[in-house]
Structure formats: C-alpha cells, structure tokens
Amino acid sequence: MALPQPRPGIMDIAIYEPGKSQVKGPARVVKLSSNEAALGPSPKAVAALAASLGESHRYPAGDSGELRAALGAAHTLDPARIVCGAGSDELLGLVMRGFAGVGDEIIHTAHGFAMYNIYAKSVGATPVIAPEKNLTTDVDAILARVTPKTRIVFVANPNNPTGTYIPGAEVRRLRAGLREDIVLVCDDAYAEYVEAPDYESGFALAGETENTIALRTFSKIYGLASVRLGWGFASAHIIGVMERIRSPFNVSRPAQVAGLAALADKDHMALTKAHTKKWRDIALQRLRGLGLKVGDSHGNFLLPEFPMVPGKTAAECDAFLQEHGVIIRRVDSYGLPNYLRITIGDDEEMAIVLDTLAAFMERT
C-alpha cells in the first residue's frame, strides 16, 4: 500500500526529546531535568487559573490584548509591537514560517536550543551551525557563516544548556554585521535570571531596528510551563507577518489570566530569583569541590562536566542518580556527552541532588 509521503526533509528531523520526567523504582522522584521554576508559579496565578476554568466554554481574547497591554506597561514597550504565543516555541516557529523556506539558510550556535534546527528543517530551510568559543556564542563565527541565502540568525542569550551569555555590545555588533534583510532573533528565555551588568536583553535592539525580535517566556521564572505562554517584541513589520500566520485564539484564556497575575506578582518573582541565585552559588561551590568542572551560569541551571574516566562519566552518574530517584538532563543531543544539566530546585530537592552527586563522585 502506498502511504502518504511527507515533504522532502521531514523524516530527517530528529524528534525533540524533553527532559525525562519519570523513573521506575524509587518511591520519591526529584525532577530537575526541565529548567522549571524552583518555587512553582505565583499563588495569585494559581488562583487566577482556577477562577478561569468556569469560562472554559468561551474562546479567549484572540489578540491577548489585556496581556499585551500589561506586558507593555511592565517593560515600557508599545503593546502594538507585542505578539503572544503558546510558549515562545510557537513564536520561534512563526518567525521561521514567516521569513524562511526552501533554499534559505538559518544560523544558530553549536549548542543552541534544539528547536531552531527542527523548525528550520520543517520549512525546508538549511540549518547552518556556528561553532562556539568556550561554550559561548561567537559573533565572529556567526558572521563568517552568513551567505546570500541567510534569512534568520538565532541567538539564545543566556543560552540553554550552556548557561553562558554575551554582553549587549556583542549582540549589537552582531546586528550591525548582518544584512538588513536578515532577522535576528534574540531568544531571552532566561533573561530574568541574569545579573551581569553588561547584559542587555533584546528589547532595546528590537525597539531600535526593523529586523530584530526579542522573545520571552512565562515557562521559566514565572513557573507557568504547563499553560504554554510566551511573547515577543519587534517592529510592526515583523509582528504583522507573525500575526497573519498565527492560529486564532492561540493563547488560551487560562494562560492569559495566569500570565496577568504572575506578571503583577513581583514579590514572587523576586523570591524565585533570589532562591535560584542562592542555590546556584551553593551548587557551584559543591560541584567544584567534588572535582567537577563547572562554568558560571546565568540561567536557572548548571552544566557540570564529568571526566571520561570509567566509573565517573556523565552517563554513569545519570544512571546512579536515577537509581536514587533523581532526574537531571543528559545533553548528548546537544553534542555535550560529557555533561549533565542540573536545574535549580527547591531547598529539599537541592539538598537531595547534591548529596546524591557527592555519593556518586566519592565512590571508590
């Protein structure tokens, strides 16, 4: 029987693998594999979610107008230049569909978010990979790979899974070195965690140029990963393209009301940020004290490198942790087989994961 055939290249796409969420055996499981917020969502967002369920028979506001207005007020941005999506993932896909296609090229860094590559192939474009320098975005490497076919450049800043960032001046140098017809996507999913004084989110550049978009998400510091909510800020031209191809009612009413409540609860966000920094610093010291190489991270996770020594490898550590009910993230698919990514969890979770890691490293 002849089966329907997908477009050329679709079957070459590797299916995205999210962080593992379950293991068999242990009675208690500590899940630190998906960069979820350590303290969960704002209680006010939870209450708003619960209250919205009675209106589940109603379509949501198709333009997310109230949420866009609140985002604009919170960040001093023009709401007319904001677009909301079912997670920033959807917005990445809209940018790709709107500005790239068969025969075009997109550029992302060697250890950038896996969906850049997947979305490129889904529209028939060719992903071009720029090497990094010390697991950090290398602007010169990106510029060296620009060709007449280049249509989009993706930069995650900070980057997942490496936790590294580039200063605002470097992002601006990248933009200045790109042709005007190339869209620069500043994927700032972890921006709220950054404290480096030379960091600059993509908002300013997106506000000053016609060819840059800055993306944010409610999945990380706001703790709303399951409701799927993201947003972007760009020129009227870019937003106009995305609005024409996004699905109607793409952001659910529960997501919109939860987003509004989370955005207004600045105390909870500040508490989550402080907690994350505290445990990121503690974990960094503990891991280095165990003899592991760990770079500074500017997200809500760490990326220790394990030695290629039998009994001490990343794969063996991952297996040991799972046996003890701890799930973290293998990053082999990102070309980092010697590393494991550890999300910052709550107090109890962090004590458990660090003690279990110590038990693994101290085995004879």
Domains and CATH numbers, the chain: 10-40+267-361 (3.90.1150.10), 43-264 (3.40.640.10)
Confidence of residue 25 (pLDDT cuts 50, 70, 90): low
pLDDT score of 18: 74
Distance CA 320, CA 57 (A): 47
pLDDT score of 6: 85
Q: What angle do CA 40, 42, 45 make, to 5 degrees?
A: 115
pTM attached to this predicted model: 0.94
Pick from 185, 165, 201, 181: which is nearest to 119 by CA?
185
Q: Is the pLDDT of residue 364 over 60?
A: no
Q: Is the pLDDT of residue 135 over 60?
A: yes
Q: Is the pLDDT of residue 22 over 70?
A: no
Task: Give 282: exposed, middle or buried? Use CB within 10 Å, 0-12, 13-18, 19+.
Answer: middle
What percentage of the chain exceeds 70 in pLDDT? 98
Confidence of residue 114 (pLDDT cuts 50, 70, 90): very high
Q: Pull the structure tokens for residue 60.
A: 């949501």
Residue 341 β-bridge partners? 329
Distance CA 191, CA 204 (A): 13
Q: Pull the structure tokens for residue 174.
A: 């990248």
Confidence of residue 134 (pLDDT cuts 50, 70, 90): very high
Per-residue pLDDT reduced to its tens digit, 43-96: 999 999 999 999 999 999 999 999 999 999 999 999 999 999 999 999 999 999
- Kindly report the length of the chain: 364
pLDDT score of 129: 98
